[in-house]
Structures are given as structure tokens and as C-alpha cells.
Chain A
Amino acid sequence: MIMESLPEYLETVAGYIFDDDKLVTYKWLSKELEVHVNVAKQILWEFWQKYKEKKQFECVFLLMGHLHDNGMRVEIVKEKNLSTAKEKYSKIIAKHVYSLQKTLPETQLLGLAEDGDVKFSGIKCIENNERNDEEMHIFRWGAASREIESASHEKVQSSISEASERKATSPEEKQVANKKNADRKGFDNLFGKAGNKQKNSSASSNADKVEVDSSNHKRGTSRNGSAEKKKSTQKGGLSSFLELGKNQTKTSADSLNKDKSTNSLDKDKCANSSDTEKSANFLTKEATEENVLKTDLKQIQSMKDFEEKISKSDGKQKQKVRSRKRNRSKETNNAVKKRKRIAIQSDSSNSEPSDNENESELDLPLSPESSPAFLKKRSISPPQVKHENGKRKVLRIVDKTFEEDGFLVTKKVHVYESCSEEEPEITEPKNEKKIVSESHSEVKGKKNTKQTTLMNFFKKS
């Protein structure tokens, strides 16, 4: 088989040596012709035998043998040095053509020659099984990493499924969660087990967040929401904000959401219950919002009805909307309504006439966008009062909106506002216009205020 194709091979080798001026080593030749290394050596040998008289080229041999001092030696010698090289050895085990080339100034240059392919070598190793990917993963990261990986995976999936049960399926959220998880995986693994525990907890907290989000958006259980909202002020922040505001209006600052909701429910009952029930059924928004709406109902019926419609449509929209970003912006829109409502509501708790609302409406257009340090009166619940320069001042929490790095940032600020005892209702709107220096600021949560749009909406109504 080999001998038959030998003439062709020899021709090819001649081409390599004389035409391409290549360094033809046996290992390269075996790779090139895809023959066993020993065949390649044979080809080179035949070639050398055939052409050494006719043509001008160099042959380099590999010698291997035992030395006189019990060592072994493998070396490469040029043909002309062969006899002197042999003297070193007590016994030569092997000798074969190593390479053929036109000229070779230095045998060391053969180190640059391309490596051969081990698969054509004379020895096969049956132990060189390759590990598959899974084995590699365990091998790389240790057996523990695998369990942890699957566990965290499950966790996230379960949280996702929970979330989806609540119809809060915003795919991006999922993706984000997944992605985070994936990132985490790689990262965890790098740092091993210890890291994993931490990561897992963060994973679960992340899952929590997803849950919180979903519950905030879609679920009607205000209790559930309120407990977790404070954790996630950014996401459910607006509602929690509402709650806070409400809390301050109705009870002391630490009043529970529960109480509040029951309060509002009571109010609902004494108000036209049919409407509120209806709204409760239809509203897919947060309960707090509902509550707010409900309390609003009492005072301004027409407004409430209207808002209900809005909220309903909002809810529907929300369900349709898939993108998280847009969801958020919706949220803020809602919140804007809520906020306004609360303002009204807080006013109403002071039995404020409805014409006051118009004023606040009027005020609003010149709010956040126009004045960077716009203050809005937030709540007045148990007003702390102090007397200064003979004037009575009331501690209030107001919203302050700053423009920060291109974002509108709203903070809750405690401010002493001067007010007359006789007509606090009237002074309030005025306070809104005033820019009161902040005496004591307390960051409660971030808010985005886009009241103008909503107010415009109301105006049209």
C-alpha cells in the first residue's frame, strides 16, 4: 500500500524540497501526507537513497543510543558528522532520517520546524479520554458548585413562577433576574462555596424583590405590600410614599398599614359602598392606591369616579404593557395621581372645601419642571408646633424636588412652616408656592414627580 504509492510520495517530497524550499521533517511530512511517522521516515529514507547522488541537498539524521555512562541520548546530526557522532555511543538504538532540506546552517533551527501530529505516532495512549462539559464544570469548580448552581436556579425559577402567578409577568424582569443569576453563577463558582452562600442569599433577596414588585403592581393585599415596600422603595416606592403620607395624616408616623387600610375601609363603608366595591373588584392596582381612592371618594365623588376610570384603564394598560421601563413610568403616573389625591385627602381630613383643590391644581403647573427647589406640602398629621418670633410654625413634611444630574429627585423634608391658627387651609396652598428653607431634611425615598401631566388631565375633566 505504502510502497505502491511511494513514487508519488517521492515526487511530492521533491516538490517540497526543491520547489518550495521547505524543511521537510518526518513529523511534518507525516502530518502533511497523513501517514504514520514511520512511513514518513521511510519515505524520506527512500528519497535520500534515490537522490543523494543526483542532487544537492542536505540530510539530517536522528541518532538515539546508550552512552558509555549509562545515560541515553537523542540527538540530531548532519550526515557529514554522522561517523564522529556515533563514537559517543556505546550502543545505537535507532537512527533514521530526521529531515531533508536544501541547506541547513544550524541544526538548532529544526526546533522551529512545525510540530508533528501525535495521532500518527507509534504509541497510542488509551487513557487520554476527554472530559465532557459537565465533567469539566465539576472538575473546574468542584463538585459543590453544581448543587449550588442548580439550587439557585430553582430558587429563581420558583420566584419567577410565583411572580407569574400573580400576573406580574414582565419578561424583562425575568430576563434580568435570569441574567443576574447567570452572572452570579460564574462568579460564585470562581470564588467557591463560601461565596455561594452569600450569593444565594442575594439571589433570594432578589427573588423577593421580584415578588415585591409583582405584589405591588397587581395584588390587592396592602398588608403584604406595605411590609415589603419599605425595602424596595425604588420600585414600590411611590405606594409606600403614599402610605407614609397617609400615615402621617391619620395617625402617628409608626401607624401600621393595616390600621390605615381598615380605617379607610370603614370610611368606604359609610361612603357609597357600591362604587367602592366595584372599584375594589376592578382595580388591579395596589391596595393603598385603592384606599386612597376610597377615602377620596368620600370627599370628592366626582373626582373619585373619574380617577377610578383612570385607574381601571391604567390597570388594563399595565397588563398589556410588557416592558418594565414603561411599567415604571406608568407607575409614576399613577403615583402622581395618588400624590395629588393624598394632598387632597390630607386636606380633606381637615375638612377642606373642594375649591382648595382647584388652587392646588393651579399651583401645580409651575411645579417641578419650572422651579428646581419646588416644595409641596405633603402632610400635616400630628403637626409639631413651635413658636418663633411670635409666629406659630408647624413642622411639616414636604416634598422637595431637586434637579440632580439631569434627574428630578424628590425628597421628603421636614420643614417648619408658618401658619395662622385660624385658617390653615388657606395658608397651605400659599406655602406650596413659597420656598421655605429646609431646617431639617430627612431622606425617605426617591420620588419622581410628573404632576403636571396629570393635573392637565384633571383640568380637562
Chain B
Amino acid sequence: MVHKEECDDLFVKSGKEKPETFERKQAEYRDLSKKFINTKSDYSKQFSHIYSARLTELREALIPRVKAKWENILIVKLADLEKLENQQCIIIGTLYKHQQWKPSILRELSEEHQLSASCSKPNYCSEKDQPFLEDEMLRIKLVGEQVDIKQIITGVVCAVLGNENSDGTFLVKDWCFPGCAPKESLKEYTSQKRLVLVSGLNLSNNCESLGISLFVEWLCGMAGNITMQKDNTFIVRLIIAGNTVKNNDTSQTSTSKELGEVIKFVDMFLSNLATCCSVTLMPGEHDPSNAMLPQRPFHPCLLPKSSRLESFKSTTNPWVGKIEGRVIIGSSGQSIQDIVKVTGETDISPIEWLEKSLLWRHICPTAPDTLLVCPYYEKDLFIMETCPDIYFVGNTDKFETKLWKGDENQIVRLISVPRFDTTQTAVIVNLDNLDTQYISFSNI
């Protein structure tokens, strides 16, 4: 009998032994995102401090690269451009794309008072967008064939080679970005341990889907046979990248009471998972956390059952952590979504922007321009100080992954983690060789 054979491994061989249970492997875990919680945010400060801090820090990183790339060409400040009389030179500054349709409080206000027609656009782009480069004092318009307005992202620090035109614009000949941050240390990884990444569980209207319950059964070692359960003990941690509670703002209609019910369910769900697997929970755009980046961890009182478990870690968004020596940086998706809105380009997948942001050395360059962020004034927290091993973004439309290799032997696993509620997909990453595969739980 075919079935019989297939199911044989379920059977306890002697019939007298106790059924086997396996112990989940443990992994060294460090949360490095303390800086997102501990840094004081003074809301009376201006946002310009972020830009100047960002420029100061990334200029340091740019100068050696610029010198290596273009050798002996002079680096000048924008204020000194006049003196050069259209000579070729290098300017370092922050890109700024003037966009008519980017979020503006004044426009919101005038729409509210019906002074202007409201229009909802999928992105901030228009025909009139203009690229600028600005340093601490001045800005200059960028022109030339090398300038692709779609590729200009506000907030990115870069060096530009070219010369000033007589009309006061800057003719761009070449670009240079800070590049990926150097790797802390190169070492051998031998652990067979794995991570599971998931995002957009959207439990508010997804709590009874079969996908969710299959996912839990799979992760907790209920489903499958003994071999599979044994294999799953190597999954050391589950990272939930945002939008666990809900996935959109349409639930504005739902009352806070309903939200409370949902959070109770989320607590149950997470405590269930956490009894069987270590869990790291990041808040997302639509979760009950602060709207400004960095989003703070869910308060322990919000999830009383889960918080009791030591295996459950509530953390920030974006998040930086270290598991078994692997540096992991991830966000719940806002950073990349906003970049996509700024460019208006739909053909470029999130994974490419993820790669670019690695080269920009910045997790979310569009903050504070179009992305809400706390007005830090001493330091820009979102600059990547070290090169991650795994760099992921949550709440994307589909699963994608790429193994990125840098000039300085950096190897980074880029992952776009799809929304679970639409794709029923989770991602498994092997911490040993950074192999990544998806696992879907649908039966469609």
C-alpha cells in the first residue's frame, strides 16, 4: 500500500516508545537597535540638522572614494564654484528633487478648506520635477545626459563630477556614491541554523485563514513528519517585519474596541509561536506604534501574554540585530515604498532599491523629506555603519532575493519579504551560506 509506506515514518517504531520530540536549536542573539530607542528626540528641533549630520558623516566616506575614482580633481564647495570659472570639479552634497506633488501640509490644508482640488496620486512625480544638489549653504541645479530624474532620490548624499554652466546649472559627467559600508570582520560561518522572515500577517482580517494556521503548524513542528520536524529545529528565530495587526488604513472605520480584540488575538498568536520558537517582532506602518521612524517596539502591556516569554522580543523598525554573528538590518517596508513613490518608477523592483540604498549607505534617504522621522539633530541614525549580512525589506508584493557582492568582499543577502496576507509566503534564510528560499502555505 503506497500510502502506508509514505506515512510509515510517522509511526513510532516499537509502538511502546514515547513519540519523539526534538529540541529547537539555540542561537546567539543581539539586538543592536538600542540607538533607535535611546536617542533623545527633541521635537522642537528643525529637520535640517539631519541633513547636515548626514552630509558631514557621509562626506568623510565619500572623499576617499572620490579620490580613488577621479584622482586629482578638485573637490569644491558650492560657494566656491564661481571662482573656478567653469573648470571641471567635484562637488559633494545631498540630492534634492523638487517635486510638486510630494506631501505638503499647506496643500493638505488648502484641500481641506477646498481651496484647491484634491487629487490622490500614486506617487509624488510630475513633469516639472527638478534635480538639485545642495550642501550646507547652497543648491545647484543638475543638468546633463547623466541626470535621470527618475533616479534622483531626495536625501541621497553623493559626489558629482562636472562643471558649472554659464547659466548657473551644473553639468554632470559622473556620479559617485558612498558605497557599501565596510564589513566588520570576515569569518567563517558553520552553523546550520536558519531564520524565518515574514511580514504583513494582517491578523485583523486574516486571523482565520488556513495559510496562517498552516504556517504556525509548520513552524511549531506540528505538521509534517519526523524528518521534517527534526529539520525545522534548525529554525532558530522568526522575524516578523511589520503590519502584523493590520495592513492598511481602511480599518479607520473599525472602532478601537475592535482593534483591541485584534490585538488580543495577536497576543495569543504570538505567545503561541513564542512558546515554540524565538520571535522578533518589528512594528510596521499600520501597527499600533508611533508613525515616525524609527518606530518603537510594541509596549509590553499591549501584548501581555507574549511579553512574558523570554523568547519573544519586541523591537524597533528599522531593526539592526546580530544572530549567530550575522548582522541583519531590516525595515518593515516604509523606506523602500517611499523611494518608489519618489521615483514614480514601477518597473524597478524593491530589491533594486534595496541594493541602491546599500550603496547610498543609508536605510531611508527620503526621510525626513517625505517620510516621517523624529527630528534627530546630533546624528543621522539611519546611516549604515556596518555592512549587513542580511538586508531585508518587508511588505513587498512578491518574494525576491539577491546575493550582492561588493568590491571589498562584502557579501550581502538582499531579501524582499512579501506580504503574507496576499502571498501566504514566508522566507527561510540559512545563516550558514545565506541560502534563501521561500515557503508558501496556500492551497490555491
Chain A positions near chain B (C-beta within 8 angstroms): 1-4, 26-27, 30, 35-39, 41-42, 45, 49, 62, 64, 70-77, 93-98, 107-108, 110-113, 115-116, 118-131, 136, 139-140
Contact = CB atoms under 8 A, between A and B. Distances in A.
Nearest to A141: B300
17 contacts: A62-B223, A72-B437, A93-B228, A98-B223, A110-B213, A111-B208, A118-B220, A122-B22, A122-B224, A123-B276, A124-B276, A127-B310, A128-B274, A128-B276, A128-B309, A129-B311, A136-B308
B307 A140 contact: yes
Interface in B294-340: 299-301, 307-311
B212 A111 contact: yes
Nearest to A71: B438
Interface stretch (B6-14, B74-82, B354-362): B6-14
B437 A126 contact: no
A41 B300 contact: no
Given A38-B226, A73-B439, A121 B220 contact: yes
B205 interface: no
A96 B10 contact: yes
B296 to A, nearest CB: 13
B442 A75 contact: yes
A64 B442 CA distance: 11
A72 B210 contact: no
A136 B307 contact: yes
A123 B231 CA distance: 10
Nearest to A139: B300
Nearest to B6: A95
Nearest to B231: A93
B275 A71 contact: no
A38 B226 CA distance: 8
B213 A94 contact: no
A90 to B, nearest CB: 12
Contact of A122 (B11, B21, B215, B274): B21
A168 to B, nearest CB: 39
B210 A107 contact: yes
Contacts of A127: 24, 26, 278, 310-311
Contacts of B211: 111
A110 B217 CA distance: 13
Contacts of A4: 15
Given A107-B210, A110-B210, A122-B221, A95 B7 contact: yes
Contacts of B437: 70-72
B232 interface: yes
B277 interface: yes
Given A94-B224, A110-B210, A122 B15 contact: no
Contacts of B428: 72
A124 B277 CA distance: 8
Interface in B204-247: 208-218, 220-230, 232-233
Contacts of B21: 36, 121-124
Given A95-B7, A130-B309, A125 B223 contact: no
B209 A111 contact: yes
A244 B7 CA distance: 96
B348 to A, nearest CB: 22
Given A76-B443, A118-B275, A121-B222, 19 more contacts: A1-B17, A2-B12, A3-B16, A36-B18, A64-B224, A70-B437, A71-B440, A74-B218, A95-B7, A97-B7, A107-B210, A111-B212, A113-B213, A122-B21, A124-B23, A125-B277, A127-B311, A130-B310, A136-B308
Contacts of A110: 210, 213
Nearest to B273: A118
Nearest to B229: A122
A75 B441 contact: yes
Nearest to A6: B15
A406 to B, nearest CB: 39
Interface string B155-183: 00000000000000000000000000000
A41 B10 contact: yes
Given A111-B213, A140-B307, A125 B275 contact: yes
Q: Which 3 residue pairs spanning A and B have beta carbons closest together? A: A123-B221, A122-B229, A111-B210
B413 to A, nearest CB: 15
Given A27-B222, A71-B438, A111-B213, A131 B310 contact: yes
Contacts of B307: 131, 136, 139-140
B220 A96 contact: no
A128 B311 contact: yes
Given A118-B220, A123-B276, A108 B210 contact: yes
A324 B212 CA distance: 60
B4 interface: yes
B225 A94 contact: yes
A125 B276 contact: yes
A37 B18 CA distance: 12
Contact of A2 (B4, B15, B233, B439): B15
A72 B441 CA distance: 9
B439 A72 contact: yes
A192 to B, nearest CB: 12
A75 B224 CA distance: 11
A70 B438 CA distance: 8
A130 B308 contact: yes
Contacts of A2: 12, 15, 19
B192 interface: no
Contacts of A73: 439-442
A122 B222 contact: yes
B42 interface: no
B145 interface: no
Contacts of B16: 1, 3
Contacts of A136: 300, 307-308
A115 to B, nearest CB: 7
Nearest to A61: B3
A112 B212 CA distance: 11
A116 B310 contact: no
In this complex, which of A3, A49, A70, A125 has the most chain B Cβ atoms within 10 angstroms of its Cβ?
Answer: A125
A125 B20 contact: no
A94 B220 contact: no
A38 B309 CA distance: 26
Contact of B223 (A42, A49, A64, A124): A64
Contacts of A119: 275
A234 B275 CA distance: 56
Interface string B251-285: 00000000000000000000010111110000000
B4 to A, nearest CB: 7
A311 to B, nearest CB: 54
A94 to B, nearest CB: 4
A71 B428 CA distance: 10
A6 to B, nearest CB: 9
Nearest to B310: A129
Contacts of B227: 93-94
A94 B228 contact: yes
A254 B6 CA distance: 100
A123 B439 contact: no
B441 A45 contact: no
Contacts of A62: 214, 223-224
Contacts of B309: 128-131
A27 B220 CA distance: 12
Contacts of A115: 213, 216, 272
Given A1-B16, A111-B208, A111-B213, A125 B24 contact: yes
A127 B280 CA distance: 13
A131 B7 contact: no
A155 B223 CA distance: 57
A124 B222 contact: no
Interface string B26-38: 1000000000000
A37 B439 contact: no
Contacts of B10: 38, 41-42, 45, 96
A426 B21 CA distance: 103
Contacts of B216: 115
A385 B128 CA distance: 83
Contacts of A98: 223
